[in-house]
Structure 1
Amino acid sequence: MPNPLRETVKQKFYPFAEARGFSRVKSNNALFTVFRKSDGGVTYEFELQWDKYHRPYFVLNFGRPEGSGVQTRTKRGRLQRKRGGPMSCWFNLRKPWLEALQTWRIRYTPDEVVEQLMTFFPEIEAWWSCGTEGPHVYCI
């Protein structure tokens, strides 16, 4: 069964990320799509992670190495529709109840979800450049 959200992400978000200098990296797992770019000797990477049960849910994972040598560890975060750990925070087609009541629509269109993703994406770039945690960044 086709996944309209996944198709819209491919059509609209992939070119958006590529226009920012990212390239897709081959992945052996269909649930993850990895993007990477190098800028001034620093490598930036993020991945789209899809729900393992193939529901139209996804999150954008990203990280940054810290330290050097043996002490290197990676600080990681997620870009989500809202902060928090539950899957309800991931990007998906369901609207939060309050918003559904206000708009009389219980679902977003795939285009609206991808537009949210592209609008929130600069929060990752701010996190990479100065460590700022925006309202849609959840550090794990």
Structure 2
Amino acid sequence: MLPSTSRCTQSIFACLSLTRPLAHFTPHMDPDPNRLVERTIRTKLANVFKPDHLEVLNESHMHAVPPGSESHFRVLVVSSQFQGLPLIQRHRMVNEALKEELRSRVHALAIQAKTPDQWGSDPTLGKSPSCMGGSRGDHTVEEKLKAGRE
């Protein structure tokens, strides 16, 4: 899903800055080890893109979902793999890396995919638009949330 279609609002539950090599992760905030979906998203994006910088934000609490849900996320991936690619192709790459989560547990994913040069000239994480309550009409959200807890 493209950021323009996401209905999330920004809130940071976990943020992880990565510098090469990947063995030197420096957490800004320690990710909660009980957050399986968040941890899976972080691990997959780190393994696929070998990012210079990665942020995974769980924005679920700003939506009509039960407390503790892991259904709405915003990610920022800064990777040299995006060099020369149009934004839509970058988003497709992130969606492909997270296809299992998008198919089963994640209701909304806002993506920022930048090259290291783009990040260097503008090191900011965009804000998600306000929630429009779209998940209230999506009857698959409850099923996905249940699957995420199992």
TM-score (norm 1): 0.31
Q: Quick check: which one's helix share is greater?
A: 2
Higher-RCO chain (CA-CA 8 Å, sequence separation at least 6): 2
Structure showing the higher strand proportion among its residues:
1
The structure with the largest alpha-carbon Rg is: 1
State the TM-score, normalized to the length of structure 2: 0.30
